[in-house]
Amino acid sequence: MAGAHNSDGQSHEDAKKELYRTMVQEASAFYRQMATICSAFLGGSMLFSDRLVRAPEPRWSWILLAAWVCFVLTLAVIVWLRWQNVESHRLVLESLKSPSSDASPGSQDKYDKALMLAKHGRVLTYVALVSLLLGLAAHVVYIGLNLYASGGAQ
In a domain, 14, yes or no: yes
Using 50, 70 and 90 to split pLDDT, how confident is the model at 151?
A: confident
Q: Is residue 154 part of a domain?
A: no
In a domain, 2, yes or no: no
SS (H, E, C) 102-142: HCCHHHHHHHHHHHHHHHHHHHHHHHHHHHHHHHHHHHHHH
Whole-number pLDDT of residue 8: 64
Q: Is residue 53 domain-resident?
A: yes
Top-ranked range on mean pLDDT: pick from 77-81, 88-92, 140-144:
77-81
> What's the domain count of the chain?
1
Helix axes 7-52, 61-96, angle to 10 degrees: 160
pLDDT, greater one: 42 or 18: 42
Whether the full predicted model's pTM is greater than 0.85, yes or no, is no
Residue 1 lies in a domain: no
Examine residue 105 and state whether it is found in any structural domain, yes or no: yes
Single out the residue of 136, 79, 91 nearest to residue 118, CA to CA: 91
142 located within any domain: yes
Q: Domain range spanning residue 82? A: 7-149
